[in-house]
Amino acid sequence: MLVIFGGLPGTGKSTLALRLAGLVGAVYLRIDTIERAMTGAKEVFSVGEKGYLVAYAVAEDNLRLGRIVIADSVNPAQITRSAWRNVAERVRVNAVEIEVVCSDQAEHRHRVETRVAPVPVTWHEVVERDYEPWIGDHIRIDTAGQNIEQSLAALRQALPAELRR
């Protein structure tokens, strides 16, 4: 199974994706980590679609081995979301798409401005980012007003049975 996470920085997306990967023993692929490795820098410099292309290939290899793969990225556009679904289709596995949001703008801003993250972003960068609305079937987790345990519990409840271990 391929679990595709997306959402703006500061929503809790990476924390939830990483926690879920640990709970279900999944391979965890984070685009930010791949891009940092590709540039050899401590900060992330955009490498365009190359980071995603590497992640798609690594995900496909692991899915062919029967592994659960969790993909973690902002996933801002329909084209990247479609590409992830295409990976699952090629390997003939199910895909679950999860959009993580924080509907409370003040809380979201506070998280962005106070977090210690390997990929620092400003609130201005978050609100100015191109981010296309999600369409089609997907799970939407709103982390506003919840701690990580509450958000993880809501996510696990919404997941297919095979991911609720």
Length of the chain: 165
pLDDT (tens digit per residue) in 115-150: 887 777 899 999 999 999 999 899 999 999 999 999
Whole-angstrom CA distances from 141 to 9, 11, 50, 75, 137 are 14, 9, 28, 15, 13
| Between 155 and 43, the higher pLDDT residue | 155
Whether the per-residue pLDDT at 157 is higher than 80: the answer is yes
Token digits of residue 130: 């191109």
What's the rounded mean pLDDT across residues 41-48? Answer: 57
Q: Are 58 and 91 in contact (CB under 8 A)?
A: no
CA separation for the pair 128, 130 (Å, rounded):
7
Can you tell me the mean pLDDT for 28-40? 84
pLDDT at site 131: 93
First-to-last alpha carbon distance for the chain, in angstroms, is 14
pLDDT digits (tens, 9 = 90+) for 56-73: 999 999 999 999 999 999
* pLDDT tier at 165, thresholds 50, 70, 90: low
pLDDT > 90: what percent of the chain?
78
All domains of the chain in start order, with CATH: 2-157 (3.40.50.300)
pLDDT at res. 36: 77
Token digits of residue 89: 């289709």
Per-residue pLDDT band at 114 (split at 50, 70, 90): very high
Residue 48 pLDDT class (50, 70, 90 cuts)? low
